[in-house]
A and B are shown apart, each in its own frame.
Chain A
């Protein structure tokens, strides 16, 4: 454990009111400063590395709201990951079943893009309504292990075709969206779960970047970035996934083709959780002599898509590498002024639920809101406690269903109060969690859950049609 990070905690307590698990239990051990104190006590040899400690680490939502509240800038995420890794390496939570599922998930499925997509294709078939009905009717579902059967109804719907089929390796903006040399050249990360469940969001992301006047390159068969592994205490595999992600690009100009790292101005992520992890490869690979330098250069270029698009079209600043700033399709489509609460002509209400790792991890807070406020024919309504976790939190719904349920309930209360037609959020886990919730709650049945990029892309396409 990195003692200097632990030591940076002044135990001032300002994180306490922002921590969902502390607010639930009222006990210090379930708070960020309490968990850090436990880590420090273990490092100092005053406490053993115990099963209870491992459970406490597991109970942490990992929302990183504490990082926003912390006056001393403690990087809690790195402590959490190392704490979880220490308890995983010591096998403190091991059961035979758990070991099998972790191996299947983290080591088998999430390390092989082709296998993940193959399985997804199988699931897509299973999810065709009449096939699914038939499988249940003839009792075939009973052949699956109980854990899988329990999870099946809440499995994310597969969104085929996947990104490689929807997005070309290199795309340049069509003439009616942008004229002249692209203002920037960006690489888009399509993710793993994002790719199989929300490939449409990836397409929309590329569309918006094109509409903003950027050339877009998208590497094929992208691996998982390793964020899942890091958050779940498998740091070795997280490092390997980071290396594979870096290896998608040509670092020394040896390969012909569009993927020279030097040639891209920014690397774009549209998933809050992944982006938060992708920006910290330098920490993760600091001890790897072959990758440390690359990881630093990488971190400097990773941007969340909302952050990047707002910088290009809204912030009035030029992107790196651009020479002129003629207006793009996106700039023409977005309204000049933010929509007011009672804006005339606005037909639909849109609200925004911040992904924790986008707002607390990446500190991208206002950009998505600024963009949403300018999507034509939408009226933006604020969502109370938008920066409070919805309970999705990676695999938290599976590992801690009870606490995840409480967080979701709290979230839905605020969503109902905001009464939106569209609930926008920018992370696949949150999108999936909220989708399920809206499906299961009659009063939210008409709410559409969408990524902000989907709304922006639709606005651009609609203006083509008119």
Chain B
């Protein structure tokens, strides 16, 4: 509908017949798509309202083909947009008109699981969940679990630095990447990082590429750190009459030196939508619902969950339920898992935002969002990862209603300002992409923003790798 990405600037070339021929020579004719009906379904990712058709879509089948592809595309002066399964939520892999989209899904080999050093080496097209399943075969654990883990690729996770439900205790994708093989804009291949736990040789360029959203290079191999698989897990759900008491309970749990693996949160709008959709008998007058999970050694889990229970009671939880069995836990998890689905059904267009604030500011920001929804007359359900301050205000709108879309933009503007005022960030785990590009300078400030541009200029002097993403 709304083509938010800029049209090809005059200095970019469109992919022409000669380039397409070259690409066919590299990957075989079957792996280059150019017909409208074939490329139209690659015009978007998981982000609402962003759509721009590429000129051609290329599927490498061997890692060794990637340098030749990148070189051919950039030396033709054509933009290159790298993509995994296209589940991103900030428009990071939305193509540009005339661009080449490089789809990595067929590079999906698990190269090696190293049980001596607790690492796994994979190609970028491996599905996130498969990484954890491979690890599990050896009693190991890959913690990051983005909502799209059943289909998202690990390469996409690295590019967007994806998070998940376990961020509080286990961190995000960045915390598990030990090494990357990257093809640079000129087609040169470099290895960044090391399989040693300790490695301080030179600048940490590996980290520069994590979360770079395909603007600096193309990842062709990932070395990931694995952990021992937790033996036990305990799940509990608590409801609260006020937001403040829920937020206070979370702060109090952490102050009691407990770091649960998961602390998830649903606001009242979300609770009501979930109950309407899944009939779980949730308390509709509750202001907040928390889902908490402790994992690790059985004895530790036992002790932690007892202490968490106490902290919840001490902070005026109106109800606390602890799962006794695996089935029980599944039932309790339903409310959180259904949150997005329930909200997504309410309206034709669902816009998922990703603002994040320091934990201490959570209650205030959730309150602010509720007020903002009322002032601008838009429906917003808020859920998210309370433990790490990562909120997902979800706008329930209809993109065909121009007036409502203006009110959405105004409300989002205010929420972003409030988030930044309280020391937060415009994105906790989805990336900047196209969707949050207008706000990046505001968060970073001029100096830091210009530094980003200098890095980009140094690594991609023609500005051909995923141009127009993160910043212009």
Which residue of chain A is the closest to B33 with respect to CB atoms? A27
Q: Is the CB of B86 within 8 A of A29?
A: no
Which residue of chain A is the closest to B125 with respect to CB atoms? A26
Q: Is the CB of B148 within 8 A of A10?
A: no
Q: Is the CB of B151 within 8 A of A17?
A: yes
Residues of B within 8 A of A44 (CB): 1
Q: Is the CB of A26 within 8 A of B106?
A: yes
Say whether B454 faces chain A, with CB atoms less than 8 Å apart. Answer: no
Say whether A329 faces chain B, with CB atoms less than 8 Å apart. Answer: no
Per-position contact with B for A7-20: 1 when CB-CB < 8 Å, else 0? 11011111011000
Residues of B within 8 A of A10 (CB): 46, 48, 344, 350
**Secondary structure call for the B interface:** loop
Q: Is the CB of B36 within 8 A of A37?
A: no
Say whether A56 faces chain B, with CB atoms less than 8 Å apart. Answer: yes
Q: Chain A interface: which of B37-45, B293-301, B408-416?
A: B37-45
Give residues 1-58 of A contacting B (CB, 8 Å). 4, 7-8, 10-14, 16-17, 26-29, 31, 33-35, 37-38, 41, 44, 46-47, 50, 52-53, 56
Other-chain residue from B38, B46, B150 in contact with A27 (beta carbon distance below 8 A): B38
Interface size of A as a range: 20 to 34
Q: Is the CB of B46 within 8 A of A11?
A: yes
Count of inter-chain pairs, beta carbons less than 8 A: 81
Most chain B CB within a 10 A radius of its CB, from A13, A17, A35, A52: A13
Most chain A CB within a 10 A radius of its CB, from B1, B46, B344: B344
Shortest beta-carbon distance, A16 to chain B, in Å? 5
Which residue of chain A is the closest to B337 with respect to CB atoms? A71
Say whether A148 faces chain B, with CB atoms less than 8 Å apart. Answer: no
Residues of B within 8 A of A28 (CB): 41-42, 86
Q: Is the CB of B105 within 8 A of A26?
A: yes
Residues of B within 8 A of A73 (CB): 341, 344-345
Shortest beta-carbon distance, A125 to chain B, in Å? 47
Say whether A343 faces chain B, with CB atoms less than 8 Å apart. Answer: no
Residues of B within 8 A of A324 (CB): none
Say whether B87 faces chain A, with CB atoms less than 8 Å apart. Answer: yes
Which residue of chain B is the closest to A35 with respect to CB atoms? B41
Q: Is the CB of B46 within 8 A of A72?
A: no
Which residue of chain A is the closest to B350 with respect to CB atoms? A10
Say whether B349 faces chain A, with CB atoms less than 8 Å apart. Answer: yes
Say whether B340 faces chain A, with CB atoms less than 8 Å apart. Answer: yes
Which residue of chain A is the closest to B45 with respect to CB atoms? A11
Residues of A within 8 A of B42 (CB): 28
Q: Is the CB of A14 within 8 A of B150?
A: yes
Residues of B within 8 A of A33 (CB): 41
Q: Is the CB of B36 within 8 A of A47?
A: yes
Residues of A within 8 A of B59 (CB): 26
> If the complex has contacts A10-B46, A14-B150, A26-B59, are A31 and B41 also in contact, measured as CB distance less than 8 A?
yes
List 28 contacting pairs A-B, 8 Å CB cutoff, sorted by A.
A7-B400, A8-B345, A10-B46, A10-B344, A12-B46, A12-B148, A13-B45, A13-B85, A13-B148, A13-B151, A14-B150, A26-B59, A26-B105, A27-B41, A28-B42, A29-B37, A29-B40, A31-B41, A35-B41, A37-B40, A38-B40, A50-B37, A52-B37, A53-B37, A71-B341, A72-B341, A73-B341, A73-B345
- Other than A8-B345, A10-B48, give 4 A-B pairs with Cβ distance below 8 A: A14-B87, A31-B41, A38-B37, A44-B1
Q: Which 5 A-B pairs have the closest CB atoms?
A: A34-B41, A28-B41, A71-B341, A72-B344, A13-B87
